[in-house]
Amino acid sequence: IDTVRVVVVGAGVIGFSTAVCVAEALPFCSVTVLAEKFSPDTTSDGAAGILFAAQFPDISVERQRRWFKDSFDHLRAIAQSQQSPEAGVMMSSGYQIFKDVPADPKPYWSDLVIGFRLMTDRELERFPGYKFGQAFTTVKCECSSYLPWLEKRFRKAGGKVQQRKVSSLHDLSDSYDLIINCSGLGSRTLTDDPQVYPVRGQVLKVEAPWLQHFIRDGDGKTYIYPGIHGVTVGGTRQEDDWRLEVDDGDTRSILERCSRLEPSLSRARVLSKWVGLRPGRRNPRLERELVQPRGRKVPVVHNYGHGGWGVTLAWGSALDALGLVRQCLHEMPPQAKL
């Protein structure tokens, strides 16, 4: 059987997760990751990486649950193994607090994380102004370590890596038999998808090694995520904002909001500041299409637009994408492989 030449565009958490899934499951494929940016310069690198489920309007709850569960179980196994420190994956317990009782006090993912329960009144006393809270244990996946770890795994499975900016998927149709598009925000130009737009996020990394719990405001704008080498505090959610520069006003706002939730933060030293553009989209695009750039039909599997949930959904999406890849290969006419 001839080798099927697969290319994955994008080397963020979606790209590498998908590349590893394909390379490990389909040994007759030669897989190449092609990207302009690699860790530590991807959007994934700045993300705190706390696994927290999303809710997309047009995707079935079953499918979203499956994405979350697959990702959670995969990362949890790493967190509880000897690989934990090298992979940058650890368990993290904490709180999500709400100023008003949410419509859905027990969300669909509550049985997928560990030990989910409502916060007691005594626990809420620490957060004046907050009436409701959830406590649970989840996983934290730090891409600055996880991406190199995935790359190692990818190369071990025979994968190849190439640094290159891809301006059009059509350019790849000569060299590859199947394209997997994990270009995140880049898909806006790469596939002419106006539905994907930036949601600017600024975070700070502070030194506060005494903090052991994550704290997240249910509105998603204020959060404190203790990690392996620092605490990520944030954030912002600025739609259609393309600025990659640090905004001093945002810095002040983040420190002020987070210190209100966790007073000890006012004694924390700021180690670094970072800005990332989440690939926002109403729903992630996880589907296949057939492009025919120059007479030859080339299947494309799209896996992008995960917004602020890339790390959370990466492995589950990758497995889903692998399923789509299998379908493409199944339907591939024999002569296409020549």
Q: Which stretch binds another protein (CB under 8 A): 17-25, 42-50, 82-90, 282-290?
A: 82-90
Phi–psi pair at 259, nearest 5 degrees: -65, -25
Copy the structure tokens of residue 95.
């709180």
Whether residue 166 is annotated as binding a ligand: the answer is: yes
| C-alpha to C-alpha distances, 57 to 253, 281, 282, nearest whole angstrom | 30, 11, 7
Q: By CB under 8 A, is residue 224 in contact with another protein?
A: no
Copy the structure tokens of residue 48.
């705190």
CB of 142 to another protein, least distance (A): 9
Whether residue 278 is annotated as binding a ligand: the answer is: yes
Q: Which residues of 20-45 are buried (b: 16+ CB within 10 A; e: fewer)?
A: bbbbbebeebbbbbbbbbbbeebbbb
Whether residue 189 is annotated as binding a ligand: the answer is: no
Q: Which stretch binds another protein (CB under 8 A): 259-267, 291-299, 301-309, 316-324?
A: 259-267
In this structure, are residues 316 and 68 in contact, taking their beta carbons and an 8 Å threshold? yes
Q: Which of residues 4-43 bind another protein (CB under 8 A)?
A: none
- Out of 168, 264, 272, 327, the residue judged to bind another protein by CB under 8 A: 264
Q: Which of residues 187-216 bind another protein (CB under 8 A)?
A: 209-213
Q: Max alpha carbon distance in the chain (Å)?
A: 68
- Pick between residue 46 and residue 226 the one whose CB is nearest to another protein: 226
CB of 257 to another protein, least distance (A): 16
CB of 109 to another protein, least distance (A): 14
DSSP string, 145-180: HHHHHHHHHHHHTT-EEEE---S-GGGGTTT-SEEE
Phi–psi pair at 263, nearest 5 degrees: -55, -30
- Out of 91, 246, 255, 336, the residue judged to bind another protein by CB under 8 A: 91
- Out of 99, 106, 117, 252, the residue judged to bind another protein by CB under 8 A: 117
Q: Which stretch binds another protein (CB under 8 A): 102-110, 196-204, 232-240, 261-269?
A: 261-269
Helices (H), the chain: 13-25, 43-46, 61-79, 84-87, 121-124, 143-156, 187-190, 248-261, 310-331
Whether residue 223 is annotated as binding a ligand: the answer is: yes
Q: By CB under 8 A, is residue 134 in contact with another protein?
A: no
Q: By CB under 8 A, is residue 126 in contact with another protein?
A: yes
CB of 266 to another protein, least distance (A): 5
DSSP string, 191-238: S--TT-EEEEEEEEEEE-TT--EEEEETTSS-EEEE-SSSEEEE---E
Whether residue 43 is annotated as binding a ligand: the answer is: yes
Whether residue 312 is annotated as binding a ligand: the answer is: yes
Whether residue 311 is annotated as binding a ligand: the answer is: yes
Whether residue 31 is annotated as binding a ligand: the answer is: no
Cross-strand bridge partners of residue 203: 234, 274
At residue 95, the 3 state secondary structure works out as strand
Looking up tokens 């000890």 gives: 264
- Out of 25, 37, 59, 93, the residue judged to bind another protein by CB under 8 A: 93
Binding site for another protein (CB under 8 A): 80-86, 88, 90-93, 114-115, 117, 119-120, 122-123, 126, 135, 137, 209-213, 226, 228-229, 263-267
* Annotated binding-site ranges for FAD: 43-44, 166, 307-312
